[in-house]
Amino acid sequence: MEAYRKMLRIASVEGPAADNAPYGPENRQALDYALELCEGFGFSTKDLEGHAGYGQFGSGEKLIMSLGHLDVVPVGPGWKHQPFGAEIDGGYVYARGAVDDKGPTMASLWAMAAIRAIGGDGFGVRFRQVFGCDEESGFGCMERYVQTEEAPTFGIAPDSGWPCYHAEKRITDLLVVAPIPDGSMTLLKAEGGSRPNIVIDSFEARVRVSGPARSEVEDKLADAWDRNVTYAWEGDELGIFAIGKAAHGSRPFDGVSAAVRAFRFLRDISPLDSFAFYDALMEIGHPGGEGLGISGSDDIVGPLTSNLGVVTTSERGVELLFNLRVPVKVEIDGLLERARKSLADRPGGWSFSVERDSPGLYFPVDHPLVATIVDVYAEESGERREPGTMGGGTYARAVPNTVSVGTGWEGDGGAHETDERLKVDHLYRMARIYGRILLRLAEKAA
């Protein structure tokens, strides 16, 4: 438990690259600590220039692997507990990363250590615990890993729901640029969000209102009301400040976008000549993708989701970074063409570029890897569940022969949310289940 809390106290949010620390010194510190723990358990270790690292034991051609990540998303406002304090309150550990993904990663490491302690060197396979440092910001760590390291015979990534997720949506980041038109209420600044995969929970905008339009805007301000939006005049400029609710970008409906709130407010107070622009900004933030013209669904993973995660202004206009979670049966080329046609209909020459594209993952439910995990979870929990699907992306999509497995249970906090928490008892329960899964997969592989 103290090792887990020590890991949580490392504020491993991505930072500026440093020597042998491509994702910042805090991620380097977390990786160093993980490898130190592995060495203490008697594992051999390897450091991949700070991108990732792993501990390994056993012998044989076959490889059983578990992949976890040590990086975390930024904190955001509204925490009641210290985000990196690892406080224990009411049987729960509170910290950023408690659930996503330091808790499950540490539980997996303990499972590996227990296997080695009971004779893991004699199972006829190798066991490897991998630690990545860039899962939240682009998977650069796994891109580096697969360049030189082998794929597992069977792999798990403890970072989803029980018993496992056999399908993951495609993840595509789109950067939309909307030129700012001149008008009686001209947008000067729009800023909010820190990552494309987090619902924006605070947002600031500033507009310049022309003299003839001032009285009209003030009249509309008197009627406009949203308890989560405030405003203030400074000369002929009006500042708008909105708050929302953060959530994981794969589940934007669980959050409330402060950006969309602000754009709606601006639309409601705008003069007629500015209305269409702010209305378009509000509509494009729809979490189902309707505003981009790309809504869709399939019978495996369900509907597409679209999270407007970062908004900035530049000399090009308003830059809107979207994190899309695309159903596995939806062809990406067709989706992008629909987006292109939708944006072409907007006045002013709106455009977009693909900033990141990660293809989805799909294993049939009767695949030996999936079926084995389902069986072990049923034996351990007394509850047989069907494998699930997810909009989130895990390391399983980056490494062959791998699926994600569950983390935590009811009562634990959600990933990327304020006051993220994990029940102490659940940490140990996860370690037991991971240990059984890894052993059963070793038996299958040997």
- Do residue 37 and residue 182 come from a single domain? no
Question: What pLDDT score was predicted for residue 311?
Answer: 98
96 DSSP 8-state letter: T
Residue linked to tokens 């977390």: 30
- Do residue 298 and residue 418 come from a single domain? no
Q: Which residues contact 212 (CB under 8 A, 6 or more apart)?
A: 184
At 171-185, the pLDDT tens digits run: 999 999 999 999 999
Question: What pLDDT score was predicted for residue 180?
Answer: 96
Compute φ and ψ for 334, nearest 5 degrees: -65, -40
Residues recorded for the chain:
446
Question: What pLDDT score was predicted for residue 415?
Answer: 84
The residue out of 296, 327, 358 marking a domain boundary is: 358
CB atoms within 10 A of CB 122: 10
CB atoms within 10 A of CB 333: 7
The CATH number that applies at residue 120 is 3.40.630.10
- How far apart (Å, rounded) are the C-alpha atoms in residues 183 and 213? 10
The residue out of 306, 336, 358 marking a domain boundary is: 358
CA dihedral 424, 419, 35, 157 (to 10 degrees): 80
Question: What pLDDT score was predicted for residue 248?
Answer: 86
- Do residue 326 and residue 388 come from a single domain? no
- Do residue 49 and residue 159 come from a single domain? yes
Structure tokens at 95: 């910290």
Give burial (CB, 10 Å; 0-12/13-18/19+) of 413: buried
Closest by alpha carbon to 352, among 171, 177, 173, 172? Answer: 177
Question: What pLDDT score was predicted for residue 392?
Answer: 78
Residues 57-61: contacts with CB within 8 Å, 24+ apart?
Answer: 57/112, 57/116, 57/120, 57/121, 57/126, 57/127, 58/116, 58/120, 58/121, 58/123, 58/124, 58/125, 58/126, 58/127, 59/121, 59/124, 59/126, 60/123, 60/124, 60/125, 60/126, 60/446
Low-confidence spans in the chain with pLDDT less than 70: none
**Across-strand partners of 241?**
204, 230
Residue 278, domain extent: 171-358
H or E segment to which residue 378 belongs? helix 368-381
- How far apart (Å, rounded) are the C-alpha atoms in residues 38 and 242? 45
Give burial (CB, 10 Å; 0-12/13-18/19+) of 245: middle
Angle, CA 407 vertex, CA 436 and CA 37 arms, to 5° = 70
The CATH number that applies at residue 253 is 3.30.70.360
Q: Could you tell me if 49 and 22 are in contact, meaning their C-beta atoms sit under 8 angstroms apart? A: yes
Question: What pLDDT score was predicted for residue 361?
Answer: 94
Transcribe 144-178 into DSSP letters: HHHHHSPPPSEEEEEEE-SSEEEEE-EEEEEEEEE
Q: Which residue type occupies 13? A: V
- How far apart (Å, rounded) are the C-alpha atoms in residues 112 and 400? 20
The residue out of 301, 325, 358 marking a domain boundary is: 358
- Do residue 354 and residue 367 come from a single domain? no
Structure tokens at 306: 């679209």
- Do residue 307 and residue 200 come from a single domain? yes
Q: Residue 401: helix, strand or coil by DSSP? A: coil
Distances (CA, A) of 216 to 151, 189, 276: 64, 21, 17
Transcribe 12-80 into DSSP letters: -B----BTTBTT-HHHHHHHHHHHHHHHHTT-EEEEETTTEEEEEEE-SS-EEEEEEE--B----S--S
Question: What pLDDT score was predicted for residue 204?
Answer: 98
Q: Could you tell me if 310 and 355 are in contact, meaning their C-beta atoms sit under 8 angstroms apart? A: no
At 42-51, the pLDDT tens digits run: 999 999 999 9
- Do residue 312 and residue 175 come from a single domain? yes
Question: What pLDDT score was predicted for residue 414?
Answer: 83
Residue linked to tokens 């203030």: 232
- Do residue 112 and residue 220 come from a single domain? no
Question: Within its chain, how far is the Cα of 54 from the centroid?
Answer: 22
Question: What pLDDT score was predicted for residue 255?
Answer: 95
Compute φ and ψ for 238, nearest 5 degrees: -115, 120
H or E segment to which residue 403 belongs? strand 402-406
Q: Residue 280: helix, strand or coil by DSSP? A: helix
- Do residue 286 and residue 421 come from a single domain? no
- Do residue 324 and residue 380 come from a single domain? no
- Do residue 150 and residue 202 come from a single domain? no
- Do residue 302 and residue 420 come from a single domain? no
Structurally, how many domains does the chain consist of? 2
Compute φ and ψ for 339, nearest 5 degrees: -65, -40
β-pairing verdict for 154-160 and 126-132: unpaired
Give burial (CB, 10 Å; 0-12/13-18/19+) of 64: buried
Structure tokens at 361: 């993952």
Structure tokens at 283: 């509509």
